[in-house]
Amino acid sequence: MGKIMKIVKRLLLLFFLLLIIGLGYLGFKIRQNVQQVMTYESEVKQAVKANNIPEHKDLVLAIIYTESKGRTDDLMQSSESAYGKRQMIGTTKESIETGVAFLAQSIEKANEAGCDIWTAVQAYNFGLDYIEFVKERGGKNSIRIAEEYSKEVLSPILGNTNQKTYRYYRPQAVIYNGGYLYSNGGNMFYADLVKMNQQFIKWLK
């Protein structure tokens, strides 16, 4: 019995040691990503000022973190909102200008509809029609509303009429539904991911 207890203790010690190492590495990678994103702070500051949303500088930086971690030319993945298809933007400057303009439009429309800021952020991923959808359901974004829109509206429009899903192993998804998204349905966890990454920006910039 004593030998078994010693083995169990050693296994537990090894588990906690690996957990600490894993969390340390994750923290290191997050800090690296934040530092990369912050290299675009001055450009973002200019863009939010030009679009009359200077108070949302950190929110834009969080969107950059979410979309690309600052490691592609289309930092804000704004090609689709500007051109209707991907990989049409080839400079970081154009990506920031286009992405911030679209976010500003989304925020303005959400304000007019009486919706919260996270509805505007989720609409950055889903498209502006999402704002009216949330307005009709109380004006406050939630994963439940985002899932309904993804499943019942967006994915069928884009060809997923059978409600097909695919695996998505982010913590928010694993906790909520075991880890999946609807094919062609955008990312129903988008606003929560941006919210989390905004905290990383505030803590580590």
Give all domains of the chain, ordered by start, each with its CATH number: 2-138+190-204 (1.10.530.10)
Residues 124 and 102: beta-carbon distance below 8 Å: yes
- Find how far residue 67's CA is from the centre of its chain: 7
3-state secondary structure of 168: coil
Q: What is the predicted pLDDT for the residue at 81?
A: 73
CA-CA-CA-CA torsion sign (64, 66, 68, 69) = positive
Percentage of residues in the chain having pLDDT higher than 90: 78
More confident residue, 11 or 199: 199
Give per-residue pLDDT as tens, 185-196. 999 999 999 999
Using the structure block, give the residue that is written with the tokens 């695919």. 166
Confidence of residue 1 (pLDDT cuts 50, 70, 90): low
**Is the pLDDT confidence value at 7 over 80?**
no
Q: What average pLDDT does this structure show over 66-91?
A: 86
Mean residue pLDDT across the chain: 92
Confidence of residue 161 (pLDDT cuts 50, 70, 90): very high
Q: What average pLDDT does this structure show over 162-167?
A: 96
- Rounded Cα distance between 5 and 121, Å, is 51
Confidence of residue 134 (pLDDT cuts 50, 70, 90): very high
Q: What is the predicted pLDDT for the residue at 8?
A: 75
Q: What is the predicted pLDDT for the residue at 43?
A: 97
- Rounded Cα distance between 165 and 71, Å, is 28
Lowest model confidence (mean pLDDT) among 1-10, 67-76, 114-123: 1-10
Phi, psi of 86, rounded to the nearest 5 degrees = -80, 165
Q: What is the predicted pLDDT for the residue at 79?
A: 85
Give per-residue pLDDT as tens, 93-116. 999 999 999 999 999 999 999 999
- Rounded Cα distance between 111 and 104, Å, is 11
**Is the pLDDT confidence value at 85 over 80?**
no
> Can you name the residues that pair with 68 across neighbouring β-strands?
none
Residue 2 makes CB contacts below 8 A (sequence gap 6+) with none
